[in-house]
């Protein structure tokens, strides 16, 4: 057996990542709900606003930015998912600060935070998201960039190979949303078969704090918002 590379789980940054994930997995009761939704209206919105946001904010509009903005409003309707656990207490947070999972060659897996997402427009969210992702990959994030998150989004669908997946909750948070690839599939609409872009969303949460029923409600609201993204997102 030929070993081509060896690395230590106790070396930074792997040690920090391993410790946090192991602690979260051992302490939290993870449960994941998967749901596949039509994202055709989101695709249409992205196509319509790409040029607007590029012109106005000099930044690129991504699906992650749109999903992040939509999820902030889902969280406002299901605020229990916007919580942290400290000791034996679940603390529901009013500020919606969404952590975005980013893979960095220099830092490993990091989760920089966009604060008060629900109060920002899509252009502002896009610009801040792209800046955070860029600095994460360059290894230039500050401690402030990585703290105060209340909910996490992990979008690996951009790689085009994964549908649903189970994430490990980002402590001290109680929930994380995984986003899979967008893929065209035949669906039945009004008795007719049509090809529509679909995406699988995987909601993982701590069953100690949140019952499965409320997870299903969260996903149902997300589904309804995906069908009217322009009304939810508002002006760019």
| Catalytic site positions | 207, 211
Question: What whole-number distance in Å separates Cα of residue 22 and Cα of residue 26?
Answer: 6
| Number of CB atoms found within 10 A of residue 92's CB | 13
Which burial class, exposed, middle or buried, applies to 118 when counting CB atoms under 10 A from its CB (0-12, 13-18, 19+)? middle
Question: What whole-number distance in Å separates Cα of residue 178 and Cα of residue 116?
Answer: 20
Q: How far is CA 161 from CA 8, 47, 105, 169, 185, in A?
A: 28, 23, 20, 22, 15
Question: What whole-number distance in Å separates Cα of residue 18 and Cα of residue 24?
Answer: 10
């Amino acid at each position: 057996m030929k070993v081509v590379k060896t690395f230590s789980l106790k070396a930074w940054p792997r040690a920090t990542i391993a410790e946090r994930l192991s602690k979260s997995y051992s302490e939290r009761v993870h449960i994941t709900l998967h749901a596949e939704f039509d994202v055709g209206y989101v695709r249409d919105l992205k196509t319509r606003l790409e040029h607007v946001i590029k012109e106005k904010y000099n930044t690129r509009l991504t699906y992650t930015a749109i999903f992040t903005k939509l999820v902030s409003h889902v969280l406002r309707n299901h605020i229990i998912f916007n919580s942290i656990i400290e000791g034996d207490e679940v603390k529901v947070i009013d500020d919606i600060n969404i952590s975005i999972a980013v893979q960095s060659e220099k830092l490993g897996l990091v989760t920089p935070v966009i604060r008060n997402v629900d109060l920002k427009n899509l252009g502002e969210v896009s610009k801040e998201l792209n800046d955070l992702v860029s600095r994460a990959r360059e290894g230039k994030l500050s401690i402030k960039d990585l703290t105060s998150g209340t909910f996490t989004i992990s979008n690996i669908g951009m790689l085009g190979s994964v549908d649903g997946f189970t994430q490990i909750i980002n402590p001290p948070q109680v929930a994380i949303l995984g986003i899979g690839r967008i893929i065209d599939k035949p669906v039945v609409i009004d008795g007719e078969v049509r090809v529509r872009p679909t995406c699988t969303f995987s909601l993982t949460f701590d069953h100690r704090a949140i019952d499965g029923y409320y997870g299903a409600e969260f996903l149902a609201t997300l589904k309804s918002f995906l069908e009217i993204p322009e009304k939810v997102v508002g002006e760019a």
